[in-house]
Structure 1
Amino acid sequence: MKLFRLIFLFAFILSCQNSEKHSYTFYYWRTTLSLNNAEKEALKKSDLPYLYTRFFDIEKVDGKFQPVAVITKDETFKTDKEIVPVVFIKNEVFYDITLDEINFLAKNVSSLITKKQKEFGFKVSREIQIDCDWTAGTNKEYFEFLKELKEITGKEITCTLRLHQVKNSKLSGIPPVHKVYLMCYSTSSPLENSTRNSILDLPTLKVYLKNIDHYPLDLDVALPIYSWGIVTNHFGKHKLINALSAKHLENPNFKKIGNDKVEILKDGFYFGNYLNKGFTIKVEEITDDQLNEVKAFLNKKLSDYTIVYYHLDGKFVNNHKF
């Protein structure tokens, strides 16, 4: 009986460790803000009071800073969540940029965020998040921008952190923010010829994050729930079709040539694209087992973290248990 109790206690402790729950919410990454029933339900079930919402991108067009893909909103986008503005800035914006231009950029980013918050009546957040794939060649300018934005807005400025920026942190530098959001996806380019899952390859991720427990800033974690299809033509050129999954490969005009790959047998329109006979489609998607393995790895490295799933879309949320 005593042995049975010990075995039961050990099993109970182990199950608690394996089922460790993390508070979570989502990124919203579409240009038109709208919510269908599946998205509303998923958002309602999330236990963090925030929704990380992409407001616009910043690019450099003809030497001038330009906001692109600025959000619009329809009447279905109603939520009690606090809307955290996220701005994606292309790394190229910080090439050959002066201090005056950095200040100008920060002021205009702040102004457009405020305009959109008022226009849509959002519950205003004390946080602004910047998403930029900065490098060793642009870190000084990018970090100065983050400081300027904090000074101008008085907000808590956070930023995303990519895998290479962790692995090469001595070259990439540490951003001047209180918290970063670790992007545990895009482990390789989908446009490479590879048998790996480019969205999330666990062995690659573990190599890049080997020393994540030594990173000197507070960390929350972004995890992928999206999927796509990679079309390859006769010349080895690749094209992405978003939101494809394995069920989309069930077509009499497709020949299965792998667990997640088909060859097209007949010219035609597929998924809104004209694709020729002989083209191949490889689907990359994420399973709950993969996500749980990432969490188990991070649980050993990080004392505590919340999760932001990328991204809130009815095509993806019904495929996962959060």
Structure 2
Amino acid sequence: MLLSACHKRHQPPVRGFYYWKTIYNLSAKEKTTIQQLHCKRMYVRCFDVDWNDEQQKPLPVSIVRLPAQLDTSMEYVPVFFITQPVLQHLTENNADSLAQNINKLLTSLCAESKWTPKEIQVDCDWTAGTKDIYFSLLKKLKEQSVFKHKDVSCTIRLHQIKYFLKSGIPPVDKGLLMCYNLGDLRKYGKQNSILDVDLAKDYLKHLSGYPLKLDVALPLFHWSVLFHNRQFAGILRGVEPDDLQKKSGFISISENFYRCDREQKWHDYLFQAGDEVRVETVAYNELLKMAEYLASNLKHTPDNVCLFHLDSATISKYETQELENIYAAFD
């Protein structure tokens, strides 16, 4: 009996997805996937808070449209993103009004869908220079009515783990470690800015010593990055990795790089001869290595593990068993 008590297994993490679209409406493929993977949690992006130069104040943008009734078999976590310009303009004087406005909007969204969340998440890539005002805002948010008696979490980037003495520890109940977007998206070259496991491990050397309990998010998404004269020119929306392999006028110059050989219009973009596109995807074996590393090095078993994000085109790039294996690495 004593041996049994000493070796009692932990509860496996709750499985979830991020939902990062402006209209909450699951496709048949998305519904089937969350059922097959026994996912019980959905992190729903509700809105962004961005700085409005014209009105000289922070305002909500891209507010989500929710159904009148959410599926009661899932637990939903409202998430809102705060941009860097907001923190750069925010002061103690206007942080109170921002907290109140966020409270009003979240209260309204939850009421419209008869939604009573147990957790609310704040997404923000704060820096050492903006940590004080951000942490102050977090404290003010926790005083608002919709936040009371709920867990308040915030996203944690890898650089905030590596340099936590400078970045500080946010005053929240727990964090969610975002294991992606570590590299420099704008830098010309063959690197993968979404996930580089070796680079991530370097940033997470002291992960077990991070004082805040962490949930985990891993990336499934991909994107195509455009370079003009070797300078970053933006992310190409709607251009899938497979599209470039088939598209005439684009020449493969390396495993994940393509060069346009003539001026042409495609997907509402005007490409110039010589423009280059770097395709960034996340291979299953890299995801599994990252998941296994985190499972072995986190101080505590995470309560929740989620994938970013639930989208038919994105999840179709992976076998269901592959996604199962990623979740199961934390069991």
* TM-score, shorter chain, exceeding 0.5: yes
Cα distance change of structure 1 residues 72 and 208 upon mapping to structure 2, 3 Å threshold: same
Amino acid at match of 1:172: S
Report whether the alignment pairs 1:98 with 2:58.
no
Residues 299-314 of structure 1: pairs in structure 2 closer than 5 A:
299-302=295-298, 303-305=300-302, 306-314=304-312
Identity of aligned residues (%): 33
Shift of 1:76: 11
Q: 1:13-24 counterparts in 2 under 5 A?
A: 23-24=14-15
Match of 2:40 among 33, 49, 52: 49
Residues of 1 paired with 2:259 and 2:13: CA distance?
A: 40
Identify unmatched segments of 5+ residues in structure 1.
1-20
| CA shift digits 1:105-137 (9 cap, x unpaired) | 111111101101112333x21111000111111
Which residue number in structure 2 is paired with residue 298 of structure 1? Answer: 294
Structure 1 equivalent of residue 114 of structure 2: 121
Check conservation: 1:25, 1:46, Cα contact below 8 A: no
Give the Cα–Cα distance (whole angstroms) in 2 for the partners of residues 82 and 128 of structure 1. 12
The secondary structure found in structure 2 opposite 1:207 is helix
Deviates further, 221-230 or 140-149: 140-149
Bigger shift: residues 92-101 or 142-151? 92-101
1:141 aligns with 2:133: yes
TM-superposed CA distance for 1:74, in Å, is 6.1
Aligned length: 301
Counterpart of 1:82 in structure 2 is 75
Distance in 1, Cα, partners of 2:140 & 2:270? 47
8 Å CA contact 1:244, 1:283 repeated in 2: no
Supply the distance in 2 between the matched residues of 1:233 and 1:91 (Cα, whole angstroms).
26
Deviations along 1:226-251, one digit per CA (max 9) or x if unpaired, are 00111112363422114644312222
Instruction: Report the AA paired with residue 44 of structure 1.
Output: Q
Q: 1:60 aligns with which of 51, 59, 66?
A: 51
2:292 partner letter: A
- The one-letter code sitting in structure 2 at the alignment partner of 1:273 is Y
State the SS of the aligned residue for 2:231: coil
Match of 1:65, SS state, is strand
TM-superposed CA distance for 1:265, in Å, is 2.4
**Counterpart-to-counterpart distance in 2, 1:280 and 1:194:** 10
Q: Which amino acid aligns with 1:25?
A: G
AA aligned opposite 1:41: T
Are the equivalent residues in 2 in contact too, given 1:29–1:53 (CA < 8 A)? yes
Q: Deviations over 1:78-101 (max 9, x none)?
A: 563222110100123223533342
Contact 1:33 1:77 in 2 (8 A): no
- Cα distance in 2 for residues equivalent to 1:23 and 1:74: 24
Structure 1 residues 278, 74: closer, same or farther in 2, change over 3 A? farther
TM-score by length of 2: 0.85
Query: 1:263, 1:281 within 8 Å by CA — same for their partners in 2?
Result: yes
> Please, which moves more after superposition, 66-75 or 309-318?
66-75
State the secondary structure of the residue aligned to 2:198: helix
Instruction: Note the alpha carbon deviations across 1:276-308, whole angstroms, 9 max, x for none.
Output: 222111110011101101012112202412321
Match of 1:38 among 26, 29, 42: 29
TM-aligned CA deviation for residue 75 of structure 1: 8.3
TM-score when scaled to structure 1?
A: 0.87
Give the CA deviation at 1:26: 0.7
Distance in 2 separating the partners of 1:202 and 1:309: 16
Cα separation, 2, equivalents of 1:160 and 1:140: 16
**CA displacement 1:10-45 (0-9 Å, x = unmatched):** xxxxxxxxxxx8542111111122221111212223
Q: What is the correspondence of 1:148-297 to structure 2 with a 5 Å cutoff? A: 148-152=140-144, 153-154=147-148, 155-234=150-229, 236-242=231-237, 244-250=239-245, 251-297=247-293
Kept in 2, the 8 Å contact 1:257–1:263? The answer is: yes
Question: Structure 2 unaligned runs (5+)?
Answer: 1-11, 324-331
Equivalent AA in structure 2 for residue 319 of structure 1: K
